[in-house]
Amino acid sequence: MVTLEELSSDPHPVLAELRPVGWVDALGGWVVSSRELALRVMRDPSTFTVDDPRFSTAQVVGPSMLSLDDSAHAEHRAPFEHPFSLAQTRARFTTFVEEETDRLLSSIRQLGSADLRRTVAGPLSVAVVAYSLGLPPTSAATVLEWYEAISTSVTGVSAGHPVTAEGAAAFALLHKHVAGGIDRSDSLIAEAAHAGLDTDDVVANAAVLMFGGIETTEGMITNALWHLLTNRSQLGLVLADPTLLPNAIEESLRLEPAAAVVDRYATRDAELAGATIRRGDLVTVSLAGAGRDPEVFPDPDSYDVRRSNARRHLAFASGPHICLGMHLARLEAVTALTALLQLPDLKLAAGSPPPHGLVFRKPPAVNATWTP
């Protein structure tokens, strides 16, 4: 019997046993853990939709591009799409990301030890998302508090629990904060409002972008740090040849995508690798499982910064709901890790925890030491 604790602490042996698809009582649905089936499900929204009352994120923040399909999805996503293209991302955000990373590193460089999640990865991702959306100023700590309450609530809903009071309260504060920035003429949220979305729609999509951006980027940075610092031979390769760093990050995404699963709901009876899916069934796509599919990735549980096909992971999903901010997340991760790996004699402190989580997976802390 698969338990939620197994899926949160170390899901990979279970996912290997379930591959390509299997029923999990603890989730009340099917889990897809092969890359081929994951692509099939995510690229077929007419059969496997996000537009269902059970969709966890929508229960917390309301309908958004993340929880809608077809024309409604396009209407919600379109106002945000161009600014996050690869060319626009590089042109608009490179200088800000570099300057913010330098500022954060300067504040800890002489300390010799810190939780790099709390001092670098989290604050960087918050600052960049807030900047990208043109949100009214607020502290990184405040936004992280909202984020943690909302993401915890989303994770709980995925496990069958109701929306928490803390999650609802945090979203109410976020709603007020985002709505206050709609009249700023230079912001993406103002552009979205002018494109025809009402305030609730703008807030819901800003929340998805904000918390998706924080989660994806913070998880990318912390998971990649954990993989590099717990695989010293691979770290040595990257330090000797920094051009390997982008692929080292992709390999980390393959092994531990920050968003481990995405949920879909069957709109009609279907068949997946011999499994009979009934209309209304929950179909959870394990992005983590797809990344360790041995049919695609030889020696799938090993961290190999020189793996030639590491970028075939599905950490940013696929199909119409592919991650809008993936180029920005990659820019932030490469910039932050380039700076962090320059800290002399960087090591994980004893007892620093591994990645953990049912929906969102990352180390609870990245306690590290270095020579000031």
Q: Are strands 270-272 and 275-277 parallel, antiparallel or unpaired?
A: antiparallel
What residues are paired with 285 via a beta bridge? 32, 262
Cβ atoms of residues 358 and 257 within 8 Å: no
pLDDT tens sequence across 287-339:
999 999 999 999 999 999 999 999 999 999 999 999 999 999 999 999 999 99
Listing DSSP states for 39-94 in one string gives: HHHHT-TTTEES-STT-HHHHHH-S-TTS--HHHHHHHHHHHHGGGSHHHHHHHHH
Give the burial string for 22-43 (b: 16+ CB within 10 Å, else e): bebebbebbbbbbbebbbbbbe
Strand, helix or coil for residue 347 = strand
Sites in the chain below the pLDDT cut of 50: none
**Which domains are delineated in the chain?**
4-51+63-343+359-365 (1.10.630.10)
Q: Give the whole-angstrom CA distance, residue 289 versus residue 300.
A: 10
**What Rg do the C-alpha atoms of the chain give, in angstroms?**
20
What pLDDT, on the 0 to 100 scale, is given for residue 198? 86
What is the pLDDT at residue 184? 65
Tokens of residue 231, six digits:
């695989």
pLDDT at residue 53, as a whole number: 86
Query: Cα-flanking dihedrals φ and ψ of residue 272, to 5°?
Result: -130, 110
Residue 244 has what DSSP assignment?
G
- Per the listing, tokens 């993340």 go with 66
In this prediction, residue 139 carries a pLDDT of 65
